[in-house]
Structure 1
Amino acid sequence: MQPTDDQSAGLLARWRAIPLYLRILAGATLGLVAGVLLGAEAAPLAMPAKLVLRVLGALAPPLILLAIMQALMRAHLGGQQAWRLVTLLLTNTLVAIGVGLFVANLVQPGALTTTDPPSPPATKASGAVDPLAQLFDAIPKSIAGPFSDEGTVMGVIFIAVAFGVALRGVRHHEVRTVEDLVHVALTSLITILHWIIDVVPLAVFGIVASIVGANGFHDFVALGGFMLAVLVGLLLQTCYYMMRVRLQTWVRPLGLIKDVRDALVMAFSTGSSTVTMPLTYEVLRKNVGLREQSASMGALVGSNFNNDGTALYEAMSALFVAQLLGMHLTLGQQFTVVLTSVIASVGAAGIPEAGLVTMTMVFKAVALPTDYIAMLLTVDWLLDRCRTAINVMGDVTVSCLLDGKTRDLGDRG
């Protein structure tokens, strides 16, 4: 007896009702068990992770492109204050990436253990057909790939089906302006991304099982060191924020943390700076007492571009995986990580599981295998909340810096 559409929708709704971090933890736990039981035979279980990361790699560039376009079109920028905002955002992001690279190079958590880079799938003997390999090859590496001279019909069909189903939800949306067109395109891509996120726990299960089966628990020992290194990096970034607030604004750092603690707690609990945005603006106006322009530009406009915690995390992740695989990233490659992380962090706002999406671009920029992104997901549920709180703290800091050293007692929220 086949399940009906209503039953399938009900199962999907119940699946999505479980917090993502719990699903990921369950997938990681089952993966550990499967890896121990199956040993080297668990290697084929990594295929779901490879498929998920292949699709994410294809989605990342257009997602970031459209997210930046939409943010720029909707942002209300103008005057000298706007240029100051851009300067502050860029400076904070570069400092965050610098902190991340400094801590990763100093601590070198990936050097606690090393493993061999994942080898390419073995080719079958002549005449043999591997259905899984055929399925993997049918998934395009980029959205535009299937339309090139070397594209395949299967890739075109894959994209057509995905967008056809995703666009059903916005098929009645009127497109009158360029902004409407960008909105529809971004909405359809985010819909597809939600489907991918739904199967991320399965990918985590597969990659954990295959890594444990091949290398035991050595990689996860290094992962614990990586978590501590990231938390140290985020703490240093917070100290940088507090130093700037103390030296360049009228606001007192300890009082600021007390006044905005509700927004920080909400950011940590939800893992979304976008959801926290209205509360961030409210506490800046009512609790801190910033001017309306400063609070709105920093918390509402700046939050679309300010993702310092995400940028720091992605830079550290790239170095960690390189250290884990015994690969040395030159200064030039680390500079490439900086540039890619800046661009990726700008496009991260408004994208669910933004770090997962944009990290594929950072890894590919320095030729790192994206397979290990799935392993990072086992601890990402916690680090995501920590870096989201830092993202919001960055918005708060920018708002205070825009307000300056003089308090306006006549402009209270």
Structure 2
Amino acid sequence: MATFILRCKEEKGTANVYVRVHSNKPKINLCVSTCLSVDIETWNKSQKDVKQMLKFRKEDPQLWNKLDSISAMLESFVKQEIAITSEIAKERIHSIVYAEQIAAEKERAEAEAKALEEEQATNFNDFISQFIRECETGKRKKKGGTTNVAPGTIKSYKGFQSQLKEYQETRLRVIDFTDLTLDFYNDFRLFLTDKEYSPNTIARMVKICKTICYAAEQLKLMDAKNVRSGFDVIYKDVDNVYLTEERIQELYEYDLSNRPAWEKVKDVFVVGCLTGQRVSDYKRINSKMIVTLTDGNRYIKLKQEKTGNTVYIPLDYRVESILNKYKGELPKVYDQKINDHIKEIGEALGWTETVELEEQRGAMEYTAKKRFCDLLKTHTCRRSLATNMQKAGASLSSIMAITGHSSEQQLKTYLKLDESEKSMLAAKENYFTKLRIAK
């Protein structure tokens, strides 16, 4: 039997009503809030006098309709011999008490969805705005999944939208679905090249354009045949540095207790180098992610923010030590602070040797000379683990299992061995180990 009580000592004012249910079969003994409040004096009078109860019910029918519904719901569980838990009781009570609000919210959401359907874009520029809006609201998910599009990805989409808007203003033309031809592709790339963007930035803009076009094609707003066959995404391998195992250890052991800001960056950066994840992922690694698998070893189980993929990263003792140092949670540091301080830390460690890089800005290609420390940034961590695994003889599939790359081609852009290192690695292959390599 469900009974209603007030759990307060006051005699005046208002108080929450609680419902108590006790049953031996099924075994139920719970007391939870109904989320409804009453005048204490009126309630106490109604509990002592039948006439007062009838008067109370007549004066506040909405309250009692909800209390009666709660009572009937709970008693039905008892009659069916279902052992209801506090969590289930709270959930069902919430649906009864806030039924009007839930119905109104459902109606509002349905009306909003209908309005969005009626506002279906009919031109390319409007569709880009619609596409971004749907990503922001969660209506549009990542391809082939149920995960929301990452904020960083949405920011990239907005960047493309801004570049296309500037392109149209510069060229004095409006681009619609029928204008997405090979001529547009070539001219848009030329426009970005004239702005002295790097080849990889241009490639990223083209890739986003293709993504949006494919989405429009699914809605039968355009035929993306030209886009599919002619809009080549041309990435250029970038000469980026990585930290060797020796330098990672040197960084790990570097005492920066007198520089707290540097020390936090150093520790987060080391975790990044030993886990090989994107900065958005390695910054949030914590002790709760540590699991033991059937091989008896411990791993970091991490769901990647960008892809939604789950990876298992072998737990390095240095990562565990750093997590323990901060009681299981890495210190909060901004990406820009990592980029700034890790260069300064690298300089302090003497990592100042000159590195030659082949760079391109717009149509101009040139060889740049920079100090090693000045090339360190958040993404160096991901390259470091992938390259060090390759040096140790790991297969590409094994590296991909840790980094979460979707293809070997994509992974290869992260492997930064120089020619001498590649040759030394080749010397370990079976063919060469059968020969006697001269010392």
What TM-score do you get using the length of structure 1 for normalisation? 0.23
- Structure of greater relative contact order (alpha carbons < 8 Å, 6+ residues apart): 1
Say which structure is richer in strand.
Answer: 2
Work out which of the two has the higher radius of gyration on C-alpha atoms and give 1 or 2: 2
What TM-score do you get using the length of structure 2 for normalisation? 0.22
